[in-house]
Amino acid sequence: MRKFVAIALVLLIVQWVAAKNSPSLFIEAESFQNKGGWVVDQQFMDLMGSPYLMAHGLGTPVADATTTVDLPKTGRYTLFVRTYNWTSPWTEKEGPGKFQVSIDGKILNNKVLGATGNRWEWQEVGKIDIGTRRVTVGLHDLTGFNGRCDAIYFTMDDEDFPPDELDALTAFRREKLGLPETVPSAGNFDLVVVGGGVAGTTAALTAARLGLKVALIQDRPVLGGNNSSEVRVHLGGRINLDPYPKLGDVVNEIAPLRGGNAQPGDYYEDEKKLEMVNAEENISLFLNYRAFSVEKEGNAIKTVVARHIETAEELSFSAPLFADCTGDGTVGYLAGADFAMGRESKADFNEPTAPEQPDKMTMGASVQWYSKEGEKHCDFPEFEYGIEFNDSNVQNVTMGEWTWETGMNYDQIFEFERIRDYGMLVVYSNWSYLKNRSSFREAYRNRYLEWVAYIAGKRESRRLIGDVILKEQDITDFVIYPDASAPTSWTIDLHYPDPENSEHFPEAEFKSIAVHKAIHPYPIPYRCLYSRNVDNLFMAGRNISVTHVALGTVRVMRTTGMMGEVVGMAASVARKNDTTPRGVYLNHLESLKRLMTKGAGKYNIENLQNYNLGGTLGPKKTNIQIPPYDKE
Amino acid sequence: MTKSSRTILIVVAFLFICGFLLPPGNPSGTAFPSKDFLHMKGTVVTHIVENSTDTLSENRILELQDDDGMTLWFGRYFYKDICVTGICRMVKLWIFWDCAGNYLGIQLDEKDPLTKSDHTPFEPEDYIRLDQILADTLSILKSLRYEDLVTDEITQPELDDNRNLMALFEVDGYSSATSPTLKEYVVKDAVYTCYTLWHTVYGETRAHIDDILESRIDAAYVKQLLMKESENHKIFALDIIRRENSFLSECDFMVLPLVGSLDRNISEKALLAITPQYLSSPEKQLQFVNLMDHALPEIKYEIIYKMQLVDKVSTAAVALLLDKFMSGKISSGGLNQIFKIISKQELLNKGIVNNREIESRLTQLSNHPDAYTANLTRNFMKSIR
């Protein structure tokens, strides 16, 4: 028996060595030289291992993506493609995201990919004889309905199967891509800001203007996050309020002049945000890089490592201070920062609005969209993958903005691909019904989908815990802390599944309602803006230290932008005094207050931020001052 | 169908109205609530509403005109039954509309105020709230039916029991228990009153007034409206031009200056009246861009957005926009918007960035001391070339 096991082991090793050494080529789809009409989607790379290419054609097949590669040798290869049927959570039938692979323009084996599989997996295309080493590999979309391709693998060994399990796949990728063991350094900085949404952008601008050397890392090609042309949520809340009326000047400089959700891309003025950042010599901007790991020394982060979402190039960023502006609290999570997710119970903080029992429910993510009236009749394919529409449950609308919200009862991090996909699925299914089967389809005869987001606008996930956790009564009772900083002015605006939609689509609702509680503008304590257990980590954006209920007000983007300004200022104080974010509170609060009083605006721009300020303000209760923090 | 007759006498409208219209028992005609339409001076013109569906009310719409024959208001006296489950109470009041047919206000005798559930009269704040509700053209009341106003909690046996019915009557006047979702949209305990009056304001009288006004519209009338001092007249004129843009060419000398008005309502309406087609003329483009010198800050940017919609923008207009930026009339936040105009023109008319006038300005901007302006311009020039 022992002998048999030994022989089997030897055979396995020989096979592995042979496979390891057999001619093969691994191609990341996102690194294709010509992406045609395919888009790079990096949103779920922490879940499934990599960014991928997606055929986001709104029902019209997109142009081929192509790349030219050199195979190790000519001969017979087996070809694998990593993909799956993205509608599989809702239907057992073949999925709509169908595509094919071509070599030098010739479709391989007529094999259709993307129609099967209920999770990311390697699908075999078949065997092919290749006569020249240099070939052009192509992805040929068949439907325009979000077929997706992570990677392609050529191998000459019949026993060489690429791994599916995530850790093994990660090791496989690294080896095949030849990524170095030691990650090259992007440089040393005073502050590394991870996340280039509104909060991250203002944090970087402010810190840079105050003299810090800043790295700004953003995992998309544009800045602005939910306010970029990729998501198209307009800014909300008020700026330039007491007690620091200059807070908001930086927000004003990068802010679009026009409001409106789900409007044409121009409205969101991506170029303004980008050039404001480029104008600061102290900022090194790393677009298209996503942070995926951290190294710590004691309780502090030493470096953050980020990967390019197209080339897979990795860079490490070192600094004494970091700011987590990722929205998901990714850096804090990787560094072991304390965090909360879901709803606290009433018993936890005694909040009137909190539920009796804690749960995992969060606000959802929006896939926004709009249509346009064309000059002639246009078709839209039949699209029905598990969600059925009829005249009574269809949304008879020509656009969908924030109310198209999904995933409140799913994990906004670990199930986010499903959440985003459901958002797209209902848009297409609803539109298909309106165009093809509704009794009022004549009204939609010439209408076509102009834009559907594929970057989902997320409202809530992890909230990193700071020295203070802001709660509902702090805001409604106007409890002013000595470290009062950026003001929040939006209502406590919490979203729930739309009851009518739930009736039509139980457990699968995709519309939301908002429940508002008006507040008086309230300055958020600075101690909500740094981690309580990762010594050198700031936070700004929706991942700050608040309860679920308090998140309802602080989460709008003019407010998160002002948090970014405060973090930039606090970072400059910390750097100047060689201290931590907490040290700023304990020993240098007056310096921070001076900076907040002065503001960090640079250009004389009129405040035209007069759209979407929020509804009626609530009453200002008696100002309850908290006694100065006892340093002991 | 409306027949009109003009009362030649220029009198205090009030005298006329009191003498001829106020029903017996309402001799005082005292203005209530505070707005006093009936004492305004002018010429009263009477319009007869033929085949009125409102048989209880006066079939006359009065129009008060100023010395130039322009409308100050339209008014009609109403007798309205406000009923629930067969029990009705009559309210008597004037409703007024402005020169454009928009709701203007109500007026009633202070001895006969509107009342609520417990028969207490409306308080001043109730009238203010009612005014807001009646002015809201998109009120939720628009889409509701009479029966929607009662909550489901009231069951038929309760309604059959007279005692209970009276109890409900006491709870909420004519409305039974006000539907919880409706409470924020109506005067407390007066939901049926609000509902009835809202549908009266936007009912047949409004349609008659619209017909009267429609029959008067021509270029001369629009000009006359624009000459008036009041915001209402100007806005009505601008709305007409927006609907019927052929009037713009005859009135543009009066409309363009309104873009620079410090009254945002007027400046926004004036902007809406100016179409990209109107701006196809290079001279008009210059005139239009120059309006930003005195315009409200937000209107300056609206001028730029409007120019983005123009198919062909002249080189001179583009140069003028860049000059406005360089002279500080447009702040840093607006430069990218000007570049969008240039991009569009470059697509249609290759070479605009090489025009000497434009190129020299862009070169100047690409060397601007402020890095944002310089970078934005350099990247713009790179992208376009």
SS (H, E, C) A585-628: HHHCHHHHHHHHHHCCCCCCCCCCCCCCCCCCCCCCCCCEECCC
State the DSSP code for B14. H
> How confident is residue B33, by pLDDT bands cut at 50, 70 and 90?
low
Task: Examine the domain organization and report whether B92 and B191 are in the same domain.
Answer: yes
The order of strands in the sheet holding A121-130 is A24-28, A151-155, A75-83, A121-130
> How confident is residue A298, by pLDDT bands cut at 50, 70 and 90?
very high
Task: Examine the domain organization and report whether B159 and B279 are in the same domain.
Answer: no
Contact B301 A257 (CB under 8 A): yes
User: Which residues in B lie closer than 8 A to residue A280 (C-beta atoms)?
Assistant: 371
Alpha helices in A285-415 (DSSP H): 330-334, 346-349
Number of compact structural domains in chain B: 2
Task: Examine the domain organization and report whether A497 and A597 are in the same domain.
Answer: yes
The amino acid at residue A308 is H
The order of strands in the sheet holding B2-12 is B2-12, B41-49, B60-65, B71-84, B87-97, B103-107
Residue B168 has pLDDT above 50, yes or no: no
User: Which residues in B lie closer than 8 A to residue A610 (C-beta atoms)?
Assistant: 298
Domain boundary among A458, A477, A503: A458
Contact B336 A272 (CB under 8 A): yes
Residue B69 contacts A where some CB pair is shorter than 8 Å? no
Contact A606 B375 (CB under 8 A): no
Structure confidence by residue, pLDDT tens digits, A168-182: 999 999 999 999 999
Average pLDDT score over residue span A105-130? 96
User: Which residues in A lie closer than 8 A to residue B301 (C-beta atoms)?
Assistant: 257, 608
Token code pair at residue A520? 């008086």
Confirm if B45 and B62 have CB atoms less than 8 A apart: yes
Contact B332 A281 (CB under 8 A): no
Does A116 map to a domain? yes
Global ipTM: 0.81
Q: What percent of chain A has pLDDT over 70?
A: 95
- Count Cβ atoms within 10 A of the Cβ of residue A497 and give its class: 0-12 exposed, 13-18 middle, 19 or more buried: buried
> How confident is residue B134, by pLDDT bands cut at 50, 70 and 90?
very high
Residue B164 contacts A where some CB pair is shorter than 8 Å? no
Of B298, B340, B371, the CB nearest to A279: B371
pTM of the model: 0.84
Average pLDDT score over residue span A143-163? 97
> How confident is residue B14, by pLDDT bands cut at 50, 70 and 90?
very low
pLDDT of res. B369: 93
Q: Tell me which chain A residue has its CA closest to the CA of residue B383.
A: A271
Residue B305 contacts A where some CB pair is shorter than 8 Å? yes
State the DSSP code for A27. E
Lowest pLDDT segment from A571-580, B176-185, B241-250? B176-185
Residue B371 contacts A where some CB pair is shorter than 8 Å? yes
Lowest pLDDT segment from A542-551, B93-102, B140-149, B207-216? B140-149
Does A18 map to a domain? no
Domain boundary among B179, B208, B237: B208
Task: Examine the domain organization and report whether B294 and B197 are in the same domain.
Answer: no
Taking Cα atoms as reference points, which of A301, A242, A283 lies closest to residue A464? A301
Does B176 map to a domain? yes
Cα A100 to Cα A123: distance, rounded to the nearest angstrom: 12
Alpha helices in chain B (DSSP H): 13-20, 124-135, 156-160, 162-172, 191-201, 204-216, 219-227, 231-243, 248-259, 264-273, 282-290, 297-309, 315-326, 335-348, 356-366, 371-384
Task: Examine the domain organization and report whether A221 and A167 are in the same domain.
Answer: no
Of B332, B374, B375, the CB nearest to A603: B332
Task: Examine the domain organization and report whether B198 and B336 are in the same domain.
Answer: no
Task: Examine the domain organization and report whether A488 and A547 are in the same domain.
Answer: yes
Residue B381 contacts A where some CB pair is shorter than 8 Å? no
Confirm if A330 and A537 have CB atoms less than 8 A apart: no
Structure confidence by residue, pLDDT tens digits, A47-83: 999 999 999 999 999 999 999 999 999 999 999 999 9
Residue A623 has pLDDT above 80, yes or no: no
Contact A280 B371 (CB under 8 A): yes
Task: Examine the domain organization and report whether B154 and B290 are in the same domain.
Answer: no
Task: Examine the domain organization and report whether A323 and A293 are in the same domain.
Answer: yes
Of B301, B331, B337, the CB nearest to A604: B331
Does B61 map to a domain? yes
Scored b (16 or more CB within 10 A) or e, A51-78 reads bbbbbbbbbbbbebbbbebebeeeeebb
CA angle B130, B132, B138 (to 5 degrees): 110
Lowest pLDDT segment from A440-449, A451-460, A520-529, B73-82? B73-82
Does B221 map to a domain? no
Residue B366 has pLDDT above 50, yes or no: yes
Contact A276 B372 (CB under 8 A): yes
Does A5 map to a domain? no
- Looking at CA atoms only, how far is residue A272 from chain B in angstroms? 7
Token code pair at residue A440? 């009022």
Task: Examine the domain organization and report whether A421 and A477 are in the same domain.
Answer: no
Which residue segment(s) compose the domain that A331 sits in? 185-357+459-625
Contact B371 A269 (CB under 8 A): no
Task: Examine the domain organization and report whether A468 and A442 are in the same domain.
Answer: no
Residue A19 has pLDDT above 60, yes or no: no
Cα B346 to Cα B205: distance, rounded to the nearest angstrom: 53
- Continuous segment of H or E residues that includes residue A290: strand A289-297
Task: Examine the domain organization and report whether B323 and B175 are in the same domain.
Answer: no
Extract the runs of DSSP E, i.e. beta strands, from A442-560: 447-452, 457-458, 463-464, 479-480, 484-488, 492-497, 512-517, 522-525, 537-539
Contact A275 B334 (CB under 8 A): no
Contact B332 A253 (CB under 8 A): yes
In a mutational test of the A interface, the residue from B300, B329, B375 whose CB has the highest number of chain A CBs within 10 Å is B375
Cα B79 to Cα A382: distance, rounded to the nearest angstrom: 56
Cα B128 to Cα A371: distance, rounded to the nearest angstrom: 41
Task: Examine the domain organization and report whether A216 and A108 are in the same domain.
Answer: no
Cα A262 to Cα A371: distance, rounded to the nearest angstrom: 10
Confirm if A589 and A631 have CB atoms less than 8 A apart: no
Q: In Å, how far are A84, A110, A141, B46, B333 from A63, measured between CA atoms?
A: 20, 18, 7, 69, 36
pLDDT of res. A4: 54
Residue B367 contacts A where some CB pair is shorter than 8 Å? no
pLDDT of res. B384: 85
The amino acid at residue A429 is S
Task: Examine the domain organization and report whether A343 and A485 are in the same domain.
Answer: yes
Token code pair at residue A511? 């519309």
Q: In Å, how far are A124, B79, B329, B353, B385 from A272, measured between CA atoms?
A: 45, 60, 19, 21, 20
User: Which residues in A lie closer than 8 A to residue B264 (C-beta atoms)?
Assistant: none
CA angle B22, B24, B25 (to 5 degrees): 105
Lowest pLDDT segment from A172-181, A235-244, A552-561, B19-28? B19-28
Task: Examine the domain organization and report whether A442 and A537 are in the same domain.
Answer: no
pLDDT of res. A137: 98
Residue B149 has pLDDT above 80, yes or no: no
Average pLDDT score over residue span A468-477? 96
Residue A420 has pLDDT above 60, yes or no: yes
User: Which residues in A lie closer than 8 A to residue B372 (C-beta atoms)?
Assistant: 275-276, 279, 603
pLDDT of res. B341: 95
User: Which residues in A lie closer than 8 A to residue B336 (C-beta atoms)?
Assistant: 269, 271-272, 275
- Looking at CA atoms only, how far is residue B99 from chain A in angstroms? 30
Does B151 map to a domain? yes
Q: In this structure, is the dihedral angle defined by the CA atoms of residues B181, B184, B187 and B188, taken in order, positive or negative?
A: positive
Task: Examine the domain organization and report whether B190 and B318 are in the same domain.
Answer: no
Average pLDDT score over residue span A439-453? 97
Average pLDDT score over residue span A77-91? 98
> How confident is residue B187, by pLDDT bands cut at 50, 70 and 90?
confident
Taking Cα atoms as reference points, which of B31, B22, B195, B205 lies closest to residue B113? B31
Q: Tell me which chain B residue has its CA closest to the CA of residue A274.
A: B376
Q: What percent of chain A has pLDDT over 90?
A: 92
Domain boundary among A156, A177, A198: A177
The amino acid at residue A218 is Q
User: Which residues in A lie closer than 8 A to residue B298 (C-beta atoms)?
Assistant: 608, 610
Chain A with chain B: Cβ pairs closer than 8 A: 50
Residue A228 has pLDDT above 90, yes or no: yes
Cα A250 to Cα A332: distance, rounded to the nearest angstrom: 25
Residue B1 contacts A where some CB pair is shorter than 8 Å? no
Give the DSSP letter string of B109-169: -TTS--B-TTSPBPPHHHHHHHHHHHH-TT-GGGG--GGGGB-TT--HHHHHSHHHHHHHH
Residue B30 has pLDDT above 60, yes or no: no
Residue A278 has pLDDT above 80, yes or no: yes
Does A11 map to a domain? no
Task: Examine the domain organization and report whether A155 and A41 are in the same domain.
Answer: yes
Taking Cα atoms as reference points, which of B61, B55, B90, B66 lies closest to residue B2? B61
Of chain B residues 306-365, which have a CB less than 8 A from chain A?
Answer: 331-334, 336-337, 340
Of B297, B375, B376, the CB nearest to A606: B297
Token code pair at residue B136? 């809201």
Token code pair at residue A248? 């908001």
Does B236 map to a domain? no
Task: Examine the domain organization and report whether B56 and B178 are in the same domain.
Answer: yes
Domain boundary among B174, B191, B208: B208
Structure confidence by residue, pLDDT tens digits, A254-265: 999 999 999 999
Contact A603 B370 (CB under 8 A): yes
Residue B91 has pLDDT above 90, yes or no: no
Unique residue bearing structure tokens 């609702």: A509
Cα A309 to Cα A6: distance, rounded to the nearest angstrom: 43
Taking Cα atoms as reference points, which of A332, A381, A318, A397 lies closest to residue A97? A381
More confident: A355 or B112: A355
Does B213 map to a domain? no
More confident: A3 or A613: A613
Structure confidence by residue, pLDDT tens digits, B111-121: 888 888 667 88
In a mutational test of the A interface, the residue from B331, B341, B384 whose CB has the highest number of chain A CBs within 10 Å is B331
Residue A366 has pLDDT above 60, yes or no: yes
Residue A328 has pLDDT above 60, yes or no: yes
Token code pair at residue A501? 């939609």
Q: In Å, how far are A98, A401, B97 from A383, measured between CA atoms?
A: 13, 21, 51
Contact A275 B376 (CB under 8 A): yes
pLDDT of res. A625: 63
Does A209 map to a domain? yes
User: Which residues in B lie closer than 8 A to residue A253 (C-beta atoms)?
Assistant: 332-333
Task: Examine the domain organization and report whether B202 and B280 are in the same domain.
Answer: no
Contact B372 A279 (CB under 8 A): yes
Cα A63 to Cα A99: distance, rounded to the nearest angstrom: 11
pLDDT of res. A514: 94
pLDDT of res. B155: 36
Return the SS3 of A518: coil
Confirm if A488 and A393 have CB atoms less than 8 A apart: no
The order of strands in the sheet holding A39-41 is A39-41, A52-56, A145-149
Task: Examine the domain organization and report whether A480 and A394 are in the same domain.
Answer: no
User: Which residues in B lie closer than 8 A to residue A518 (C-beta atoms)?
Assistant: none
Lowest pLDDT segment from A131-140, A390-399, A409-418, B149-158? B149-158
More confident: A547 or B249: A547
Of B331, B372, B379, the CB nearest to A606: B331
Q: In Å, how far are B55, B92, B128, B200 from B81, measured between CA atoms?
A: 11, 9, 22, 11
Residue A630 has pLDDT above 80, yes or no: no
Domain boundary among A159, A177, A195: A177
Token code pair at residue A188? 């040393």
Does A43 map to a domain? yes
Extract the runs of DSSP E, i.e. beta strands, from A499-587: 512-517, 522-525, 537-539
Task: Examine the domain organization and report whether A130 and A33 are in the same domain.
Answer: yes
Taking Cα atoms as reference points, which of B129, B94, B126 lies closest to residue B112? B94
Token code pair at residue A398? 């020509």
pLDDT of res. B179: 52
Cα A148 to Cα A96: distance, rounded to the nearest angstrom: 11
Does A497 map to a domain? yes
Token code pair at residue A409? 């009862």
Domain boundary among B186, B208, B230: B208
Which residue segment(s) compose the domain that B280 sits in? 275-384
Of A253, A604, A608, the CB nearest to B298: A608
Average per-residue pLDDT for chain A: 94
Contact B376 A271 (CB under 8 A): yes
In a mutational test of the B interface, the residue from A269, A271, A609 whose CB has the highest number of chain B CBs within 10 Å is A271
Unique residue bearing structure tokens 């084996």: A109
Number of compact structural domains in chain A: 3
In a mutational test of the B interface, the residue from A267, A270, A606 whose CB has the highest number of chain B CBs within 10 Å is A606
* Residue A491 belongs to domain with CATH number: 3.50.50.60
Does A2 map to a domain? no
Cα A475 to Cα A489: distance, rounded to the nearest angstrom: 10
pLDDT of res. B88: 75
